[in-house]
């Protein structure tokens, strides 16, 4: 699954927000393979989306908004969207352009409109456009724009949407290991990641003769049970090691190619930056064709990695709104130093620390 564009208004803290996952120019040399729709070389999409921003810039809520929309499309669950409305007295809306397996650009739009006495009505549309051999995203989307919306009932229309797949992972949610159905893949990722994060872990092995996904972690001579992502004695592990369990499950899901769309949200706050970069590299190298990764972080050293400039999107709050800024708009040459541009405030994303001045008076 690939998301090409998302617009949000009055959901969470997003007001008149849009984010575009296409990029304008094909690169001659790039470390990311298959950054165009397979068989359609002009239909370019950002396979890797590294979302950077200061605290409260919207990185986590962007993923939650995406997930709520996908739950609505897949399961007709409108209640999660209604719970996400910022101002319940005003209209809330979203638009999402996406591709699943068929070579069609799907566009779903929903307006949730207050209708008095606490009731709401819905304006829903689902339109599709066949992707032609020479199409870019822009040319295909332009035909949808020209056609306009086809208003219909979402309960029946959503039955015709192809089955979606996604995997979202957040540090505040329950640690999991079961994102991959392949126990051998889970064991590989757990062994490699946990032993990298904690030298006192000697091995991780499967617990035999159980139906669920359970492992035994051997640490300092002790055997500790890891059952469905929950440790029996989590207090003996550091925060980074506990985060590593979720990271290992997430990576296993990518390696087995089970979901197609992946959103990894700030699992590396307590993990060394060099380990974060290695694991991000593994995530990218294991992405299949027509798959997409979203990766949020505070780690500015990621900007020094050998990745296309268009892979980096910055979320900022300005004039009471969250905006998406694209690195390639400010630093167009691949040879230019993106991190230096950020530090020199070429891209105005640095947090406002002027309030700390009063502590120096």
The CA distance from 266 to 289, in Å, is: 25
Q: What is the pLDDT of residue 12?
A: 94
The CA distance from 263 to 13, in Å, is: 19
Q: What is the pLDDT of residue 43?
A: 97
Q: Which residue has the tokens 């872990």?
A: 201
Helices (H) and strands (E) in the chain, counts: 9, 16
**How far are the Cα atoms of 113, 140, 208, 270, 277 from residue 53, in angstroms, in the given order?**
31, 31, 44, 17, 17
Per-domain residue ranges of the chain: 2-166+299-350, 173-237
Q: What is the pLDDT of residue 328?
A: 86
Q: By the 8 A CB rule, do 69 and 17 touch?
A: no
Tell how strand 214-219 and strand 104-114 pair up. unpaired
Q: Directed axis angle between helix 273-286 and helix 239-255, to 10°?
A: 10
Q: By the 8 A CB rule, do 312 and 303 touch?
A: yes
Q: Which helix (H) or strand (E) holds 96?
A: strand 92-99
Q: What is the pLDDT of residue 230?
A: 78
Tell me the HSE value of 232 on the side-chain side, using a 13 A CA sphere: 12
The CA distance from 137 to 44, in Å, is: 7
SS3 105: strand
Q: Which residue has the tokens 């089970």?
A: 258
The CA distance from 81 to 33, in Å, is: 34
* pLDDT tens over the chain, length 361 residues: 999 999 999 999 999 999 999 998 777 677 898 999 999 999 999 999 999 988 888 899 999 999 999 999 999 999 999 999 999 999 999 999 999 999 999 999 999 999 888 789 999 999 999 999 999 999 999 999 999 999 999 999 999 999 999 999 988 775 555 555 688 899 999 999 999 999 999 999 998 766 667 899 999 999 999 987 778 888 999 999 999 999 999 999 999 998 999 999 989 988 999 999 999 999 999 999 999 999 999 888 898 888 999 999 999 988 888 999 998 888 777 667 788 777 776 666 666 677 777 888 6
Cα 275 to chain centroid, rounded:
20
Q: Which residue has the tokens 């207090």?
A: 235
**If you write DSSP's letter for every residue of 240-288 in order, what string do you get?**
HHHHHHHHHHHHHHHHTT-SSEEEEESTTTTS-HHHHHHHHHHHHHH--
End-to-end CA distance of the chain: 53
In degrees to the nearest 10, what's the CA dihedral of 330, 335, 340, 342? Answer: 30
User: What pTM does this model have?
Assistant: 0.92
């Amino acid at each position: 699954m690939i998301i090409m564009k998302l617009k949000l208004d009055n959901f969470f803290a997003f007001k008149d927000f849009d984010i575009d996952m296409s990029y304008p120019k094909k690169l001659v040399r790039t470390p990311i393979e298959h950054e165009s729709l397979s068989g359609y070389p002009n239909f370019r999409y950002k396979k890797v989306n590294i979302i950077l921003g200061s605290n409260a810039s919207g990185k986590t809520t962007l993923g939650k908004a995406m997930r709520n929309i996908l739950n609505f499309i897949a399961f007709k669950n409108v209640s999660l969207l209604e719970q996400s409305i910022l101002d319940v007295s005003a209209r809330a809306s979203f638009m999402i352009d996406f591709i699943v397996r068929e070579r069609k650009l799907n566009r779903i739009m929903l307006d949730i409109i207050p209708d008095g006495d606490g009731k709401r009505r819905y304006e829903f549309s689902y339109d599709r456009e066949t992707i032609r051999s020479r199409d870019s995203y822009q040319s295909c989307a332009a035909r949808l724009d020209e056609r306009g919306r086809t208003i219909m009932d979402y309960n029946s229309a959503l039955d015709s949407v192809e089955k979606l797949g996604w995997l979202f992972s957040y540090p505040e949610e329950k640690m999991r290991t079961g994102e991959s159905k392949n126990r051998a893949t889970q064991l590989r990722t757990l062994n490699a990641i946990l032993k990298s994060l904690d030298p006192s872990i000697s091995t991780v092995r499967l617990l035999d003769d159980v139906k669920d996904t359970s492992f035994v972690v051997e640490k300092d001579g002790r055997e500790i049970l890891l059952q469905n992502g929950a440790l029996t004695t989590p207090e003996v592990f550091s925060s980074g090691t506990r985060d590593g369990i979720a990271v290992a499950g997430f990576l296993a899901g990518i390696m087995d190619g089970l979901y197609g769309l992946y959103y990894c949200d700030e699992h590396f706050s307590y993990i060394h930056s060099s380990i974060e970069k290695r694991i991000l590299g593994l995530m990218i190298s294991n992405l299949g064709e027509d798959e997409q990764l979203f990766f949020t972080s505070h780690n500015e050293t990621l900007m020094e990695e050998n990745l296309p400039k268009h892979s980096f999107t910055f979320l900022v709050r300005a004039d009471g709104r969250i905006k998406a800024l694209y690195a390639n708009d400010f630093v167009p040459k691949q040879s230019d130093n993106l991190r230096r541009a950020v530090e020199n405030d070429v891209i105005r994303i640095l947090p406002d620390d002027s309030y700390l001045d009063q502590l120096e008076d």
